[in-house]
């Protein structure tokens, strides 16, 4: 690791910590505030990938993963109204989703880095975000994976309700996942602006 990589590592660590805190607070009916901070992790990874390369981007991802594991361990020791703030399924889902999605983002970005400046960050973030959402919500809340943690009651997340209050009847966690995914897709488009600006400043040349 070089000193040039330190800002990326610190930014990733700050995003992971902030998201772990903000996920405890609701924003409307289907989201938490953490849904708006976590997608910034893809921005950090993509900037590091563009400016410093694949190896640097992976270092930042692994640093973020380590911070996430630490946050999960702390969360398992904090008791909320219905038990630990972080259950085993949430911890496993969060860690596996983060690591898989971020490393996939790095690989896809690297594959597309030679195209138009916006293609690599946009496509890699869209793919990574989709995988992240699918893995986390399925592992953390799907009734089919109840054997992962039999003592953890996730019946509330499997209550049958209209999708986002309007669509077909699905388990509640599917609506939560869909809302989270839509936010990630929106932020993937918005993040192209800071991506362009930051990369230009760091490289002092067009991307």
In order of 47, 85, 195, 206, the CA distances from 200 in angstroms are 10, 41, 8, 6
Q: How confident is the model at residue 32 (pLDDT cuts 50, 70, 90)?
A: very high
Q: How far apart are CA 174 and CA 191, in angstroms?
A: 25
Mean pLDDT of the chain: 93
Grade residue 85 by pLDDT with cuts at 50, 70 and 90.
confident
Q: What is the CATH number of the domain that holds 110?
A: 1.10.1760
pLDDT of residue 205: 55
pLDDT of residue 76: 79
Q: Work out how many domains the chain is built from and give that number.
A: 1
pLDDT value of position 206: 52
**Element holding 32 (H helix, E strand):** strand 31-32
How far apart are alpha carbons 102 and 119 in whole angstroms? Answer: 17
Least confident of 38-52, 78-92, 168-182, 190-204: 78-92
In this prediction the pTM is 0.92
122-176 pLDDT per residue, tens: 999 999 999 999 999 999 999 999 998 998 889 999 999 999 999 999 999 999 9
Query: Tell me, what's the pLDDT at 20?
Result: 92
Query: pLDDT-based confidence at 47, cuts 50/70/90?
Result: very high
pLDDT value for 1: 58
Domain containing residue 79: 3-203
What value does the mean pLDDT take over residues 57-75?
94
Give yes or no for residue 35 having a pLDDT over 90.
Answer: yes
DSSP assignment of the chain equals --GGGHHHHHHHHHHHHHHHHHTTSEETTTEETHHHHTTHHHHHHHHHHHHH-HHHHHHHHHHHHHHHHHHHHHHHTSEETTEESS-HHHHHHHHHHHHHHHHHHHHHHHHHTTS-TTHHHHHHHHHHHHHHHHHHHHHHH-GGGGGGSTTS--GGGG-EEEGGGTSSEEEHHHHHHHHHHHHHHHHHHHTHHHHHHHHHHHHSS--
Residue 20 CA to residue 142 CA, distance in Å, equals 21
């Amino acid at each position: 690791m070089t000193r040039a990589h330190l800002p990326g590592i610190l930014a990733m660590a700050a995003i992971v910590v902030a998201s772990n805190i903000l996920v405890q607070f609701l924003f409307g009916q289907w989201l938490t505030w953490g849904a708006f901070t976590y997608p910034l992790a893809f921005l950090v990874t993509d900037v590091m990938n563009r400016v410093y390369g694949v190896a640097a981007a992976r270092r930042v991802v692994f640093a973020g993963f380590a911070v996430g594991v630490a946050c999960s361990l702390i969360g398992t020791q904090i008791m909320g109204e219905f038990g630990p703030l972080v259950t085993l399924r949430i911890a496993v889902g969060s860690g596996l989703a983060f690591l898989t999605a971020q490393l996939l983002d790095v690989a896809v970005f690297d594959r597309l880095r030679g195209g138009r400046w916006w293609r690599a960050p946009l496509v890699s973030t869209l793919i990574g975000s989709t995988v992240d959402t699918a893995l986390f919500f399925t592992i953390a809340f799907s009734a089919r994976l109840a054997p992962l943690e039999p003592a953890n009651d996730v019946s509330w997340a499997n209550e049958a309700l209209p999708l986002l209050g309007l669509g077909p009847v699905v388990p509640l966690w599917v609506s939560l996942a869909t809302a989270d995914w839509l936010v990630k897709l929106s932020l993937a488009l918005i993040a192209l602006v800071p991506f362009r600006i930051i990369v230009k400043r760091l490289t002092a040349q067009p991307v």
